[in-house]
Amino acid sequence: MAHHFEFKQIGVIRTPYTDSAPYQPVVNDEGEFRIVLQREYAQGLADLETFRYIYVLYFVDRLTRTTVMIEHPAWTPDTNVGLFASRSPVRPNPLGLSVVQLKKIVGKSIFTSGLDVFDNTPLLDIKPYIKDLDSKNDANYGWIEKLAGNKQHLLLHIMGIPHGY
Ligand SMILES: C[S@@+](CC[C@H](N)C(=O)[O-])C[C@H]1O[C@@H](n2cnc3c(N)ncnc32)[C@H](O)[C@@H]1O
């Protein structure tokens, strides 16, 4: 039997994106990116500023379609790929995960590099991204290897960055 769980919102993510966002974080995108914790959790930010990168976990709260097990990623819509081999936000549990640069912490606000979420997305958790523990030197591109085009070009598509070629 499948269990159901409840999560608490611990803060909110503020971004310049009202109703469309990049497919993945764009490091130097324009505007302010800020994670604001609820006051009761602010003390938990102690020592986080010693890290350069953080994981941000959030609830993807404004989905407009239902989950399917075979996805057609928005950046390569002619491709069929299993949901769990994709980064689609439309999942049985709509949890989002982004790795971003931590710029500074002021009070209960964390200022970061670009985040790929709509303004006011509910925050579920933050964790430090730890060198060597979290970066894998032998990571690969999975099924993306089979797509035509060079990696730099594909990465622009994956992130949803407009480009002229
Ligand atoms: C493809 S997801 C990737 C999220 C995360 N980086 C990951 O890999 O889990 C990013 C997309 O989710 C959508 N999105 C962002 N915030 C959302 C929200 N609060 N509700 C619904 N969709 C959202 C936007 O269309 C954005 O392009």
Q: Give the 3-state secondary structure percentages of the chain, helix then strand then coil, rounded to 5.
A: 15, 25, 60
Q: In whole numbers, what is the pLDDT of the chain averaged over residues?
A: 94
Question: Which residue's CA is minimally distant from atom 24 of ligand 1?
Answer: 21
What one-letter code names the amino acid at 161?
A: I
Q: Which of 118, 120, 161 to mutate to test the pocket of ligand 1 (most atoms within 8 A of CB)?
A: 118
Q: What is the pTM of this model?
A: 0.94
What are the domain boundaries of the chain? 11-131
Nearest atom in ligand 1 to 59's CA: 19
| Dist. CA 112 → ligand 1 center (Å) | 17
> Mean pLDDT across the stretch 148-164?
78
CATH architecture entry for 11-131: Beta Barrel (2.40)
Q: Which helix (H) or strand (E) element contains residue 151?
A: helix 151-159
Q: Which of 116, 119, 124 to mutate to test the pocket of ligand 1 (most atoms within 8 A of CB)?
A: 116
The pLDDT-based confidence of 164 (bands split at 50, 70, 90) is low
> Mean pLDDT across the stretch 35-41?
98
C-alpha 138/C-alpha 148 separation (Å) is 22
CA 91 to each of CA 19, 45, 63, 158: distance values in angstroms, whole numbers, following the listed order: 19, 29, 10, 18
